[in-house]
Chains A and B, each alone.
Chain A
Amino acid sequence: ETGVTQTPRHLVMGMTNKKSLKCEQHLGHNAMYWYKQSAKKPLELMFVYNFKEQTENNSVPSRFSPECPNSSHLFLHLHTLQPEDSALYLCASSQGPGIDISSGNTIYFGEGSWLTVV
């Protein structure tokens, strides 16, 4: 148990469906992240939120729409996805991005949501 909870753990959706991934952290952190992990690729950072504000969007297609209603919750809304979007989507949290070494800015991951687009 890392203090970061993701639901659902597994999701199969059609290309015309709309679904959402949910992430909740119980660590009192201010920053939350979405990462994508595809087969044989390193983890790709998708979005960063700091104090509910989006501070980074790594050229993610608009069919992925994040939402951060508060510092403890993060959603990833999915709409008209493609089969190549099938991947493991990982949520993470930390005290805050860009904090210096003295703060020990460790990042904690959720268990991930396995997404299959058919």
Chain B
Amino acid sequence: GIQVEQSPPDLILQEGANSTLRCNFSDSVNNLQWFHQNPWGQLINLFYIPSGTKQNGRLSATTVATERYSLLYISSSQTTDSGVYFCAVKSQGAQKLVFGQGTRLTINP
């Protein structure tokens, strides 16, 4: 099945810093989503982005489908951005999303 690899596994930054999280995948996809899991466990959908670029406030994401990767950018980080960021993908004809291992982001005040 499709493989999803996220990097880095852990990222520790000071408040105000910018960060880039990467998601590599091994096959063509028709669904790619980024999620933020807060410290209480809830997964919040950030972007549905199988291709192209989207922006939502301080967050933006770009997926280059032909090169099989996606990037999540967080600018001017805040402590509330802390948590685990997951990338999930679904390949053509597949029934389910496959999740990466996640990137644990810690923003220190």
Contact = CB atoms under 8 A, between A and B. Distances in A.
Interface string A86-114: 00101010000110110011111111101
Contact of B33 (A88, A107, A111, A114): A107
A110 B95 contact: no
Contacts of B50: 101
Contacts of A107: 33, 45, 88, 97
A111 B38 CA distance: 10
B95 A55 contact: yes
A48 B43 contact: no
Contacts of A97: 95-96
Contacts of B42: 2, 109-112
Nearest to B92: A100
A13 interface: no
Interface in B74-108: 86, 88, 90, 93-97, 99-102
Interface in A30-70: 37, 42-43, 45, 48, 55-56
B48 A104 contact: yes
B35 A56 contact: no
B57 interface: no
Given A101-B50, A107-B33, A111-B40, A2 B101 contact: no
Interface of A: 2, 37, 42-43, 45, 48, 55-56, 88, 90, 92, 97-98, 100-101, 104-112, 114
A88 B39 CA distance: 12
A54 to B, nearest CB: 12
Interface in B30-49: 30-31, 33, 35, 40-45, 48
A48 B95 contact: yes
29 contacts: A2-B42, A42-B100, A42-B101, A43-B88, A45-B96, A48-B96, A55-B95, A56-B95, A56-B96, A90-B41, A90-B43, A98-B93, A100-B30, A101-B30, A101-B31, A101-B50, A104-B48, A105-B90, A106-B33, A106-B45, A107-B45, A107-B88, A107-B97, A108-B45, A109-B43, A110-B42, A111-B42, A112-B40, A114-B41
